[in-house]
Structure 1
Amino acid sequence: MARRRSAELSVFRRLAVSSLALLCVLLSFSAGHSRSLPREALVAAVFDGDTILLDSGDKVRYLGIDAPEPAHDGEPADCYAREAEAANAAMVLHRRVTLEYDREKRDRFGRLLAYVFTMDGRCVNAELLGSGHARVFTTLPRHRLAERFLSRQRDAMAEGRGMWGACPVRQESYYILNRRSLVFHRPSCELGRNTSARNRLRLETRREALERGFRPCRVCKP
């Protein structure tokens, strides 16, 4: 009986130690995860119109917007890419910013997804949309500033600011939209033609697609 009680006590102690070790690991992970979401930082570098590097070493992708792509991997730069990068740098490079987060904290590349604010309270994401240096990038479920961002884009489009007045686009007779991905395509785009009937929507103008919050396909670039 004594040996059995001793064995039971030994098992209990091992379980207690294991549980304590697991708790420590979880607490350590939680603390590390919290530290990985900076709330204020200095911008050390600007990569393009929607991506920056913080002095903490974190790369940040502006949430809810998409700026024209610079040249990379043998592909030429999109129209207005240089201007978008310059506009972004003018607001944040070598300056302190604050960051706020939404439902998704990181993208598939490990970059932080954030709303970035200047120290005087301007939302850089929204400013770039309003000046025509970026377009909305909406996913489902929509982020909390989606309607505010779309309103800024509509204003920029209506007044022909930035890319909306500077970048010519070959128009199509109609466009194929995907209700699930919120991407729209040219009629000739294979990705658009492969959209399921359930998610497929057709609109006659590019402008209407953009005003409703859809974003251009990065392959066919409508």
Structure 2
Amino acid sequence: MPKGKVRIIKSRSGVLKGPVLFFVLCCLLFSAVTASAFEGKVRYVIDGDTFILANNKRVRIAGIDTPEIGRDGKADQYYAQNSKALLNKLILGKRVRIEYAGKGKDRYKRIIGWIYLDDVFVNEEMIRKGAAFFYFHKGNDKGKQKRLLQAQRKAYNEKKGFWPVVSKLKKFNKPWVGNKNSRRCFLPNDKYAKKINWKNKVNFSNLGEAFYDGYSPARHLNFWPVVK
């Protein structure tokens, strides 16, 4: 065979065999992995779960939710500034690795991702410090979601961050109704609670039980206290 020529090995059916097939599969696997993750420098932190990269792309941290910072004259929710400050300290001005989560982007065109700073899993760290709570999504990685839930249970038991104040709220200690399908929970008299199919309905004596099982309050309930 002349030098510089590469012989492609095929079977009679035209399918690649042996080392050549292995090489092709490795290339495809490598391409898939690299396409699902990238690195970027954090230019600005919007709040506890959202930031902007140097290329102006917005990133929403997957699997968590944090108290909302007040805008347009509205008050901050309790612990919103603390959550933002923690994320600032963790990632501002640093290069992070972002792995796409779920569909990769949300309806606002933000990148949804698992965030890593060296060996720190940022999504988990925010929950571990009691600055965020676990927010389930069907399309997200099951292993990572399980890890976030475990971090939440530990933070709740150890009364980290916002948990000591939030767990004393009147609404927190009332019964709640969960939807097994969405992993959202509602107050019993809420219109959406009444629409839950009995097969998907689960009752909690308080919101702590719901959080422990990986449920989170439906956002329209405005459960979180505000800073006056």
Tell me the TM-score range normalised by the shorter chain: 0.7 to 0.9
Relative to structure 1, the CA distance from residue 107 to residue 173 in structure 2 (aligned partners, 3 Å threshold; closer, same or farther) is: same
1: CA distance between counterparts of 2:150 and 2:88?
23
1:143 is matched by which residue type in structure 2? D
Is the Cα–Cα contact under 8 Å of residues 48 and 81 in structure 1 kept in the other structure?
A: yes
1: CA distance between counterparts of 2:175 and 2:82?
29
The 5 Å alignment of 1:163-202 reads: 163-167=162-166, 168-170=168-170, 171-202=172-203
Corresponding residue for residue 4 of structure 1 = none
2: CA distance between counterparts of 1:58 and 1:141?
22
1: CA distance between counterparts of 2:73 and 2:198?
35
2:157 is matched by which residue type in structure 1? A
Q: Percent identity?
A: 27
Corresponding residue for residue 75 of structure 2 = 76
1:153 is matched by which residue type in structure 2? Q
Corresponding residue for residue 101 of structure 2 = 102
More helix by share: 1
The one of 136, 139, 149 equivalent to 1:138 is 136
Q: How many Å apart are 1:53 and its aligned residue?
A: 0.2
1: CA distance between counterparts of 2:174 and 2:106?
34
Q: How many Å apart are 1:114 and its aligned residue?
A: 0.6
Corresponding residue for residue 218 of structure 1 = 219
TM-score (norm 1): 0.78
Greater Cα shift, 196-205 or 103-112: 196-205
Q: How many Å apart are 1:163 and its aligned residue?
A: 0.7
2: CA distance between counterparts of 1:121 and 1:172?
37
Corresponding residue for residue 50 of structure 1 = 49
1: CA distance between counterparts of 2:154 and 2:105?
29
1:86 is matched by which residue type in structure 2? A
TM-score (norm 2): 0.76
Greater Rg, structure 1 or structure 2?
1
Corresponding residue for residue 122 of structure 1 = 120
Is the Cα–Cα contact under 8 Å of residues 185 and 221 in structure 1 kept in the other structure?
A: no
1: CA distance between counterparts of 2:45 and 2:120?
18
2: CA distance between counterparts of 1:142 and 1:207?
23
Please, which runs of 5 or more residues in structure 2 have no aligned partner?
1-32, 224-228
2: CA distance between counterparts of 1:183 and 1:108?
19
Relative to structure 1, the CA distance from residue 57 to residue 126 in structure 2 (aligned partners, 3 Å threshold; closer, same or farther) is: same
Instruction: Provide the aligned length of Structure 1 versus Structure 2.
Output: 188
1: CA distance between counterparts of 2:37 and 2:86?
23
Corresponding residue for residue 208 of structure 1 = 209
More strand by share: 2
Is the Cα–Cα contact under 8 Å of residues 185 and 210 in structure 2 kept in the other structure?
A: yes
Q: What is the DSSP-based 3-state SS (H/G/I as helix, E as strand, rest coil) of the residue aligned with 1:125?
A: helix
Is the Cα–Cα contact under 8 Å of residues 52 and 60 in structure 1 kept in the other structure?
A: yes
1:211 is matched by which residue type in structure 2? Y
Structure 1 moving runs of 4+ over 3 Å: 34-38
Q: How many Å apart are 1:172 and its aligned residue?
A: 4.3
2:169 is matched by which residue type in structure 1? V
